[in-house]
Amino acid sequence: MHEVTVGIGGAAGDGLDKSGDTLAKTAGRLGLHVYAYNSYQSIIRGGHIWLRVRIGQDKVYSHGDKLDVCVALNQDTLERHAGEVNAGGCITFNADKLKCDPSLVPADVQVLGVPMAQVTAEVAKEHGAIQPIMQNTVMMGVVMAVTEIDFSEAVEVVRETFAHKGDKIINLNLGLLKAGFDWAKANSKPVSKSWTFSRKRRPFCTGNEVIAIAAAAAGCKFYSAYPMTPASTILHWMANHAEEAGVCVKQAEDELAVVNMAIGAALGGVRSMCGTAGGGFALMTEAIGMAAIMEVPVVIVEVQRGGPSTGLPTKTEQADLNQVYGASQGEFPRLIVHPFDIADCFATTVEAFHLADKYQLPALIMSDLMLSEHPETVEPEVFRHDVEIDRGKRVTEWPAGTTFKRFTLATEDGVSPRTIPGTPNTIFTSGSDEHDERGILISDMFTNTAIRRKMMEKRMRKVEFMLKELTPPKLEGPADAELTLVGWGSTYGVIREVAALLTAEGIKTNYVIGKYLAPFHVKEWTELLGKCKKKISVEANFTSQFARHIKAETGVSMDAFVNKYDGEPLEPNWTIDRIKEIIAGKKVDLSVSEEDAKEIAYHYLRTHFAEKQRPAKAVLDSKNGKGEAIWRVELIERATGKKSGEMTVGADTGATYSYEPVLEPVKA
Amino acid sequence: MATVIELPLEAYKGPVDPDWCPGCGDFGVLRSLQTAAGKCGIQPHDLLVVSGIGCSSNLPGFIKAYGIHSLHGRSVPVATGAHLANTDMKTVITGGDGDGYGIGVGHFIHAMRRNLDVTYIVMDNQIYGLTTGQASPTTTRGHKTKSTPKGNAEIPLNPLALAITAGASFVARGFSGEPAQLQSLMQQAMQHKGFAIIDVFSPCVTYNKVNTYPWFKERVYKLEDENWDPSDPMESLKKSFEWGDKIPLGVLYKTEQVTYEDTEPVLQRGALVKQPIGVNAATMKQFVDEMC
């Protein structure tokens, strides 16, 4: 497959997200496919940010785990990522500021140290001093050149990016882009073959943006939220487009208010949605049962991040299935659905509104940081304005003097026609207590077993009818596969890629992705899994929650499990290595890697020495009296490159045992 | 001003009779609300009564109006959503002191900050009644209850002072033993544009043997009898701390402020529920183009 992956690394505040956008948008406009992932930490300035942009002639389904171009905006990035570059690729950086130690460079990789002052001299003469952050534009020029991206398209994107800053800044940046591009053309060879540009413009967007747009298209009129990563960008999109989309957007005081406002708005008669992360959802749970017993259509988006508790706020995980499935006391029907990619976020959101209205129940859309925040190019046809909006069984007129039974039991599918407040002659009260057909509470009676039974049965009947409307699971890939990978939600792209790579290697592998979690296709899953040979669950969590869900529903067990719970997303080659270990019957190596030990050192140095030092190399030392092997991490001063100290990190536990500075020799 | 066609109290008679304890203050509150709604000429189907959980929160089931009997402490956000969805309805929130000033106090404060155009009636009996008599946020210090057998250690919350400082634009106190005044306060509150809070002394005859009808009768007086000027927030705040031998009833504070609804752009197109839904081709194209 013709593809190229560009990694851009720097500190928070270095402006690398803008650079990544420029590259991705340019590629997207040329008709190439783009998938990006940004690894970041929960700080606003400093730290490390690593953005990967994978560009393909055909659709790319994950950010992959290869690297063709490493753009280093700081020394850390060279240290951390230079070694990941494939043969034939390149490493590029500002040579006036950074040095790339030759020991970091893999074989057959070009080192493109940009002599920044010299390259920008002409531009500076014409436009004045170049701010450090503007040097990113030079680096983007270099990237465009080595990746064979059409320069004129990049010019248009840069022009638009800086349009709001006026001609002076636009021209300055265009000058810098060209300077970088020309320098690279003269001093490097391309890392990519030349592309075929269809120039079909594809929007470059995140799952959160697509959920928000789909909600607007589906007729959502009310959106409430409380800020929480990684759900906040739904709120941001909604707030920024409230008037065009006709949505009343409310940032509330907490998630209790958020969900209760959304339910209130739904009771008021509009399509209504709220969104949050796992922690916020934990606060919302009581109200979900209320929506169910009041039979209110409401859509709730639950975006998972690393848990438990505050957990890993900026990292991804699939560990909230148990929470969402178990949310709220009592038994009630609800929809739980997890879109499997960004395009699917659109269809899923529209469907969630449809089913919520049709079956008058809470529809819970699950997502995760990976799906909600990574951007990718999506076919523009996905964004339909003309989605069918059917508000379900409703009563708009009712004769005076006759009794309206809001919760009538005379219904096959359990759905009773509803009415909205303001309608004459259909007055009723929505109660969170159990109630009769008219909505009158039965909770104050001594007992009313008959009505209680009938109401439970009525509500629960919705489950079987709704299930019939949901698309059953489907096995993808060779039917006679020896391996079947089983996953759910956002890992679709990686699992798909893994199955294809394994099959290409001669290990025939197919896969199935769970999308509808409740109601669950028990019969279809049982049949489907019954046909599979070795079934491997692949999940970004510790306890294989989806595999457990399958087992609870069908009795079918998986044969083996791949679990990633370190906060970083599943990647194809990492997953393949785990699967091969399983096939070979090897135990998973859970020890602390050299890379892990260095990350621990990076953080220690950032918080104790203002990043004045960095880890250089790490050596494993087995005999040391600590009761475990340790990594001896050599530290050096960034300014001088001189050895400045040593840290020791447990290779088994990850414990930081010591930090020892190199003391200045005492002068005589 | 359009002519108001008043409705009789019977127009709001609910589908079932209240099952509060005989003598409960909440009967008077219900009756006053029905009378006030009638004086305002609000059609029962244009009235939305939202409550949480508690004895007093059963009120929506006892009045002929659209009702939401929601979760404990969540009446205010549920009402906020329902009201924003349909601003053509008159939204009244009802509940007790535990529901509104205890578990729901966060929502209470923020709704006042927003100056949402709704009326909030708190039936304040200074006790948890439905759970059989524990201390509530307004239980006086030293009061012995089931959960405070040695006397309540905490100072009671002052809902009126809280309301004035949080930004409510109509702050009043009523007493279910003074039905004529209470009915008038409710009428004024419903006609007020902005967040109106009425804290109503609504004695619990079963579990609060301290703050009884006679206890209040001896102490309360009417602000209107003293020609109280409710326009100065600092004077009103001072007045809100008057307690003990003399306790004021009436409109403590009143001001005209911009409401939340006034500032929400989408609501300028009319009630949300009556607006067109979805987006047209041009708008969708704009959304997609922004991301290209």
pLDDT of the residue at A668: 55
Q: In CATH, what number is assigned to the domain containing residue A106?
A: 3.40.920.10
The pairs formed by A651-658 with CB atoms below 8 angstroms and a separation of 24 or more are A651/A591, A651/A592, A651/A597, A651/A620, A652/A591, A652/A592, A652/A628, A653/A592, A653/A628, A654/A592, A654/A596, A654/A597, A654/A600, A656/A600, A656/A604, A657/A626, A657/A630
| Domain presence at residue A248 | yes
Mean pLDDT of B141-155: 97
CA distance A302 to A304: 6
Percentage of chain A modeled with pLDDT above 90: 87
Same domain, yes or no: A352 and A463: no
pLDDT of the residue at A382: 98
Cβ within 8 Å of B, A 283-302: 286-287, 290, 294
pLDDT of the residue at A129: 86
Residue B213: strand, helix, or coil: helix
- Say if residue B1's pLDDT is above 60: no
Q: Which of B85, B110, B291 sits opposite A265 (nearest CB)?
A: B85
Edge-to-edge order in the sheet of strand B90-96? A429-431, B66-69, B47-51, B90-96, B119-124, B196-201, B170-175, B247-254, B220-222
| A515 touches A476 (CB < 8 A) | no
Q: How far is B110 from chain A (nearest CA, A)?
A: 7
pLDDT of the residue at A610: 80
Mean pLDDT of A25-44: 89
Q: Which residues pair with A536 in a beta bridge?
A: A485, A560
Asked if the Cβ–Cβ distance from B276 to A246 is below 8 Å, we say: yes
SS in 3 state form for A624-644? CCCCCCEEEEEEEECCCCCEE
Same domain, yes or no: A82 and A182: yes
The pairs formed by B132-136 with CB atoms below 8 angstroms and a separation of 24 or more are B132/B207, B133/B206, B133/B207, B133/B208, B136/B96, B136/B97, B136/B98, B136/B101, B136/B102
Q: H-type helices in A394-448, by residue range?
A: none
Asked if the Cβ–Cβ distance from A264 to B83 is below 8 Å, we say: yes
Same domain, yes or no: A165 and A229: no
Which of A29, A236, A260 to substitute to test the interface with B, most B CBs within 10 Å?
A: A260
Tokens of B211: 């703050």
Q: Tell me how many domains chain A contains.
A: 5
Q: Tell me how many domains chain B contains.
A: 1
| B211 touches B138 (CB < 8 A) | no
Around A537, how many Cα atoms within 13 Å sit in the side-chain half-sphere? 24
Q: Which residues pair with A509 in a beta bridge?
A: A483
pLDDT of the residue at A639: 80
pLDDT of the residue at A67: 95
The domain in which residue A461 lies consists of 393-470
pLDDT of the residue at A588: 82
Segment A143-156, tens digit of pLDDT:
999 999 999 999 99
Segment B31-45, tens digit of pLDDT:
999 999 999 999 999
DSSP string of A321-376, one letter each residue: HHHHHH-SSS----EEE--SSHHHHHHHHHHHHHHHHHHTSEEEEEEEHHHHH-EE
Q: Chain B partners of A270 at a C-beta cutoff of 8 Å? A: 85-86, 272-273, 277
User: Count of CB atoms within 10 A of residue A649's CB?
Assistant: 25
Mean pLDDT of B116-138: 97
Q: Chain A partners of B275 at a C-beta cutoff of 8 Å? A: 221, 246
Considering only CA atoms, which of A567, A540, A538 is closest in space to residue A550?
Answer: A538
Mean pLDDT of A103-113: 95
- Say if residue A48's pLDDT is above 90: no
Same domain, yes or no: A19 and A122: yes
Same domain, yes or no: A620 and A638: yes
pLDDT of the residue at B90: 98
Considering only CA atoms, which of A110, A106, A344, A102 is closest in space to residue A211?
Answer: A344
Considering only CA atoms, which of B144, B146, B153, B129 is closest in space to residue B210?
Answer: B144
To 5 degrees, how large is the angle CA A437–CA A443–CA A448? Answer: 65
| Chain A CA closest to residue B86 | A268
Q: In CATH, what number is assigned to the domain containing residue A502?
A: 3.40.50.920
Give, in order, the Cα–Cα distances in Å from B145 to each of A413, B137, B139, B151, B209. 49, 13, 9, 7, 10
| Domain presence at residue A451 | yes
| Domain presence at residue A239 | yes
Asked if the Cβ–Cβ distance from A264 to B81 is below 8 Å, we say: yes
Segment A158-211, tens digit of pLDDT:
999 999 999 999 999 999 999 999 999 999 999 998 999 999 999 999 999 999
CA distance B43 to B8: 11
Q: Chain B partners of A290 at a C-beta cutoff of 8 Å? A: 70-71
| Domain presence at residue A199 | no
CA dihedral sign, ordered A93, A95, A101, A107: positive
| B203 touches B216 (CB < 8 A) | yes
Mean pLDDT of A503-509: 98
Cβ within 8 Å of B, A 192-211: 201-205, 209
pLDDT of the residue at A664: 67
Name which residue leads in pLDDT, A233 or A103. Answer: A233
Mean pLDDT of A27-51: 87
Convert A91-124 to b/e letters by CB count within 10 Å (16 or more is b): bbbbbeebebeeebbeeebbbbbbebeebbeebb
Convert B90-105 to b/e letters by CB count within 10 Å (16 or more is b): bbbbbbbbbbbbbbbb
E strand or H helix at A580 = helix A572-584
Mean pLDDT of A74-79: 89
Mean pLDDT of A46-64: 92
Same domain, yes or no: A313 and A226: yes
The domain in which residue B285 lies consists of 9-289
Q: Does B60 touch chain A (CB under 8 A)?
A: yes
Same domain, yes or no: A48 and A69: yes
| A201 touches A380 (CB < 8 A) | yes
- Say if residue A666's pLDDT is above 70: no
Edge-to-edge order in the sheet of strand A204-206? A110-114, A85-94, A67-72, A3-12, A46-56, A33-39, A375-377, A204-206
Asked if the Cβ–Cβ distance from A29 to B292 is below 8 Å, we say: yes
Q: Which of A246, A264, A386 sits opposite B82 (nearest CB)?
A: A264
Considering only CA atoms, which of A115, A176, A172, A139 is closest in space to residue A16?
Answer: A139
Mean pLDDT of A562-572: 96
Same domain, yes or no: A238 and A261: yes
User: Count of CB atoms within 10 A of residue B70's CB?
Assistant: 32
Around B82, how many Cα atoms within 13 Å sit in the side-chain half-sphere? 33
Same domain, yes or no: A242 and A269: yes
pLDDT of the residue at A128: 85
Q: What share of chain A is helix, strand, coil (3-state, %, to 5)?
A: 40, 25, 40
What is the Rg, in whole angstroms, of the alpha carbon atoms belonging to chain A?
A: 28
Same domain, yes or no: A332 and A447: no
Same domain, yes or no: A454 and A369: no
- What's the pTM? 0.94
Asked if the Cβ–Cβ distance from A441 to B275 is below 8 Å, we say: no
| Domain presence at residue A192 | no
Task: State phi, psi for A313 to the nearest 5 degrees.
Answer: -60, -25
Q: Chain A partners of B89 at a C-beta cutoff of 8 Å? A: 268, 421-422
CA distance A232 to A225: 8
| Domain presence at residue A476 | no
CA dihedral sign, ordered A149, A153, A158, A160: negative
- Would you call A296 exposed, middle or buried from its count of C-beta atoms within 10 A (0-12, 13-18, 19+)? buried
Question: In which band, very low, low, confident or very high, does the pLDDT at A505 lie, cut at 50, 70 and 90?
Answer: very high
Give, in order, the Cα–Cα distances in Å from B270 to each of A261, B11, B164, B266, B276. 19, 28, 30, 8, 11
Strands A46-56 and A33-39: antiparallel
pLDDT of the residue at A667: 61
Percentage of chain B modeled with pLDDT above 90: 99
Sorted by sequence, the CB contacts under 8 Å of residue A516 that are 6+ apart come out as A335, A336, A337, A470, A471
Q: In CATH, what number is assigned to the domain containing residue A321?
A: 3.40.50.970
The rounded mean pLDDT for chain B is 97
Q: In CATH, what number is assigned to the domain containing residue B219?
A: 3.40.50.970
Mean pLDDT of A117-137: 92
- Say if residue A222's pLDDT is above 70: yes
ipTM, interface predicted TM-score of the complex = 0.98
| Domain presence at residue A195 | no
DSSP string of B102-118, one letter each residue: IITHHHHHHHHHHT-S-
- Say if residue A599's pLDDT is above 70: yes
Tokens of A510: 């197919």
Segment A292-348, tens digit of pLDDT:
999 999 999 999 999 999 999 999 999 999 999 999 999 999 999 999 999 999 999
CA distance B21 to B99: 19
Q: Which of B16, B69, B74 sits opposite A260 (nearest CB)?
A: B74
Q: Which of B74, B82, B280 sits opposite A385 (nearest CB)?
A: B280
Mean pLDDT of A630-644: 90
Sorted by sequence, the CB contacts under 8 Å of residue A462 that are 6+ apart come out as A333, A359, A360, A361, A413, A414, A415
Sorted by sequence, the CB contacts under 8 Å of residue B193 that are 6+ apart come out as B117, B169, B256, B259
Cβ within 8 Å of A, B 104-133: 106-107, 109-110
Same domain, yes or no: A438 and A317: no
E strand or H helix at B24 = none
Segment A268-297, tens digit of pLDDT:
999 999 999 999 999 999 999 999 999 999
pLDDT of the residue at B266: 98
| Domain presence at residue B100 | yes
The pairs formed by B221-229 with CB atoms below 8 angstroms and a separation of 24 or more are B221/B246, B221/B247, B221/B248, B221/B249, B222/B178, B222/B181, B222/B248, B222/B249, B222/B250, B223/B248, B223/B249, B223/B250, B223/B251, B223/B252, B224/B181, B224/B250, B224/B251, B228/B252
Tokens of A640: 């001088």
| Domain presence at residue A549 | yes
| B122 touches B157 (CB < 8 A) | no
Q: What is the DSSP letter of A312?
A: B
Tokens of A134: 């503007």
Percentage of chain A modeled with pLDDT above 70: 99
Q: Does A388 touch chain B (CB under 8 A)?
A: no
pLDDT of the residue at A665: 62
Question: In which band, very low, low, confident or very high, does the pLDDT at A61 lie, cut at 50, 70 and 90?
Answer: very high
Q: Which of B67, B273, B287 sits opposite A241 (nearest CB)?
A: B287
Task: State phi, psi for A197 to the nearest 5 degrees.
Answer: -95, 110
| Domain presence at residue B2 | no
Give, in order, the Cα–Cα distances in Å from B83 to each of A1, A346, B264. 55, 29, 13
